[in-house]
Amino acid sequence: MDEAQADGAIVIKVRDLVVGFGPKLIMKGLNLDVMRGEVMGFVGGSGTGKSVLTRTILGLIPKRSGQISVFGSDLDQISLKERAEIERRFGVMFQQGALFSGLTVKQNVQMPMREHLKLSPRLLDELAMLKIELVGLKPDAADKYPSELSGGMIKRAALARALALDPDLVFLDEPTSGLDPIGAAEFDELIGTLQKTLGLTVFMVTHDLDSLYSICDRIAALADGQVIATGPLPVMLDSEHPWLRAYFHGKRSRQIEAYPGHGHGQIADFAPS
């Protein structure tokens, strides 16, 4: 693949990104590519800036220097109108769901539609119900308020809202945090199914090793303000970097079956309990 073709396949391109708060630098010349159609898992220790990177790409946190391009457009070199058109192709699910507590699930899902689309109330209702069904919620969830939902239902409702405008690129911030192992596995399966069915590119910040194993095409690891490694799971498992060794081969682990392409023939001491 030549350089032009490669750039066309890159959905998010980050170069020499520097982000800080006061004297503290969070990103120190970070570089990252997210390819079209992949599920990219982004990992790092607590406080390393995983969520900061997501918010910087989204424009919610200012950068000090560096370049961020999305869908081939440098976000610093385009008009506000062009940026708005690009952001309309985003879907975002924040860690705790960030649903509006005073709105029902249906009304939450309709919020992006009301902001960007001119639709009749009937069509808004029909589209919202389609999104609610798409994420596996029962129809009666539509009229419930966030306080009436379980943790897993809140995650699904937030995902339905993220999908409201049929995005090409979805940002997921710790999507399985707070879920029990069964609920987390079901949510992973949902994300994987939607990614394949809808042709999504997914940027997923996570600490869940089971998620990395089950649905991520590639993984990027953050440490000391930079991406220290990127690649499929076997690359991470074979890395000699101390943080990656501790993360993927730690004490809270279990044996799982062989993973195709892993140099040692099996993945040992992989997922946390």
pLDDT tens track for 24-71: 999 999 999 999 999 999 998 877 788 899 999 999 999 999 999 999
Q: How confident is the model at residue 90 (pLDDT cuts 50, 70, 90)?
A: very high
Report pTM: 0.86
Kindly give, in sequence order, each residue whose CB lies less than 8 Å from that of residue 201, ignoring residues fewer than 6 positions away: 11, 34, 35, 36, 37, 38, 40, 168, 169, 170
Q: Looking at the predicted structure, is the pLDDT value of residue 97 above 70?
A: no
**Cα 44 to Cα 87: distance, rounded to the nearest angstrom:** 26
Rounded percentage of the chain residues whose pLDDT exceeds 90: 61
Which pLDDT belongs to residue 1? 44
Give mean pLDDT, residues 242-270: 55
Handedness of CA 156, 159, 164, 168 (dihedral sign): negative
**Three-state SS string across the chain, please?**
CCHHHHHHHEEEEEEEEEEEECCEEEEEEEEEEEECCCEEEEEECCCCCHHHHHHHHCCCCCCCEEEEEECCEECCCCCHHHHHHHHCCEEEECCCCCCCCCCCHHHHHHHHHHHHCCCCHHHHHHHHHHHHHHCCCCHHHHHCCHHHCCHHHHHHHHHHHHCCCCCCEEEEECCCCCCCHHHHHHHHHHHHHHHHHHCCEEEEECCCHHHHHHHCCEEEEEECCEEEEEECHHHHHHCCCHHHHHHHCCCCCCCCCCCCCCCCCCCCCCCCC
Q: In the predicted model, what is the mean pLDDT of the chain?
A: 85
Give mean pLDDT, residues 249-261: 50
Instruction: Mean pLDDT check: name the lowest of 105-109, 137-141, 231-235.
Output: 231-235
| Burial of 27: CB neighbours in 10 Å, binned 0-12, 13-18, 19+ | buried
**Cα 239 to Cα 53: distance, rounded to the nearest angstrom:** 23
Instruction: Mean pLDDT check: name the lowest of 50-59, 250-259, 264-273.
Output: 264-273
Which pLDDT belongs to residue 259? 47
Which pLDDT belongs to residue 6? 53
Give mean pLDDT, residues 231-241: 87
Handedness of CA 203, 99, 160, 70 (dihedral sign): negative
Instruction: Mean pLDDT check: name the lowest of 53-62, 158-167, 212-221, 239-248.
Output: 239-248
What fold is seen in the domain 3-241?
Rossmann fold (3.40.50)
Q: What are phi and psi of 97, to 5 degrees?
A: 90, -45
Which pLDDT belongs to residue 178? 84
Rounded percentage of the chain residues whose pLDDT exceeds 70: 88
Which pLDDT belongs to residue 200? 95
pLDDT tens track for 151-206: 889 999 999 999 999 999 999 998 888 888 888 899 999 999 999 999 999 999 98
